[in-house]
Copies of this chain bind each other. A is one copy, B any other.
Amino acid sequence: MSASLTLSLDAMGGDNAPDIVVKGLQIARKRHPHVRYLLHGDESALRPAVTHGDGLDAICEIHHAEGVVGNDEKPSQAVRRGRGTSLWRAIQSVKDGTAAGVVSAGNTGAFMAMAKLALRTLPGIDRPAIAALMPTRRGDCVMLDLGANAECDADNLVQFAIMGEVFGRNVLGLREPTIGLLNIGTEDQKGTDTLRRASAVLRESSLPIRFEGFVEGDDIGKGTVDVVVTDGFTGNVALKAIEGTSKLYAGMIRSAFESSLSGRLGYLLVRSSINKVRARTDPRRYNGAMFLGLNGIAVKSHGGTDALGFANAIDVAVDLVTHGFNETIKGEFMKVQKASGLDPEGLEQAANG
């Protein structure tokens, strides 16, 4: 727990920014009294909010930024003309070392493109991945990639597996996290060539990880493995299909309680238990998707979240920084790539260069 941990925030990203950011900070301040924040955004909006923000002025430093990246802006466009925006500036604070991590609720594609350009990938990682925690029957699992790379080759998947494993061990505190590759069957011959190649590397190499082979879509909710590895297309569809189903269920259960007098009475009796289920599956609890594999911690909050959700995304960034995730990844990757025979020269050059 560093006494001087500083995070950089894109104060203008998200549907209800900067309001959720400032209110989120009021929650985060109590959870992490030692953390300081650089707020990038419109000073005229941020200054009064922070001044009246219940002690926020003592932990926040406002950095004025004129522009805001639009939600519909294409990543390439945002990168070209977005250098003055709050998002770009927030990332720069990590690049120049004044902040240990950055959080934004803004445009995901632009955030990833800018973060890749500014921070670059860690040695040994060809492409960063988006990872997030998901609820399962036996606690949470981590799934990656959730949309950074629509198409992935076998090397990308192997690298994601290694990053997921380090995350499970380092941040979730699991002794031996189990890893599964998402496929449409568990037999060896199932799926695409890419998946079979990635599986062969993970299975046959001497990587010090517990690879459980292929898993299927329903294994996510079952919690069959601690780390679910997939390409960004499949991961994004699966994540959103799960979100859609959660909402469908929540809506049906709500209607069931509201549909009759006995339903409303019954609800009074089961309210506390139902609230536990609600809390367990609250999307805000799972807010904070991590961009893993970059030279710097970057966490994406859901654009439509509220103050509590934004505070939870800050938690994720604090967790990754205080557990030294990137330092561990760098160290592990050297060992792991040597063991697996995966391009160790390129890795060492990159590490020393």
Contacts and interface: CB of A to CB of B under 8 A. Distances in A.
Q: Which of A74, A151, A241 has the most CB of B within 10 A?
A: A241
A217 B236 CA distance: 8
Contact of A265 (B137, B189, B269): B269
B256 A244 contact: no
User: So how many copies of this chain end up in the complex?
Assistant: 2
Contact of A135 (B192, B233, B242, B248): B248
A281 interface: yes
A246 to B, nearest CB: 6
A68 to B, nearest CB: 19
Interface string A151-184: 1000000000000000000000000000000101
Contacts of A192: 150-151, 233
B244 A222 contact: yes
Interface string A256-273: 110110110111111011
Contact of A253 (B191, B262, B263, B277): B277
A135 B245 CA distance: 9
Contacts of A150: 184, 190-192
A216 B241 CA distance: 8
A238 B217 contact: yes
Contacts of A218: 240-241, 243-244, 247
A226 to B, nearest CB: 16
A147 interface: yes
B240 A252 contact: no
A220 B243 CA distance: 10
A123 interface: no
Interface in A286-314: none
B240 A242 contact: no
A30 interface: no
Nearest to A258: B273
A256 B276 contact: yes
Nearest to A219: B244
A221 B239 contact: no
A134 B230 CA distance: 24
Contact of A262 (B189, B233, B246, B269): B269
A205 interface: no
A267 to B, nearest CB: 7
A326 interface: no
A147 B185 CA distance: 10
Q: Considering the complex of A and B, which 5 residue pairs feature the smallest CB-CB distances, nearest first?
A: A217-B240, A266-B269, A221-B244, A218-B244, A266-B270
19 contacts: A74-B187, A150-B192, A184-B233, A192-B233, A217-B241, A217-B242, A218-B247, A220-B245, A221-B247, A234-B237, A241-B242, A242-B245, A249-B249, A252-B281, A256-B270, A260-B272, A263-B273, A266-B268, A266-B273
Interface of A: 72, 74, 135-137, 147, 150-151, 182, 184, 187, 189-192, 216-222, 230, 232-234, 236-249, 251-253, 255-257, 259-260, 262-263, 265-270, 272-274, 276-277, 280-281
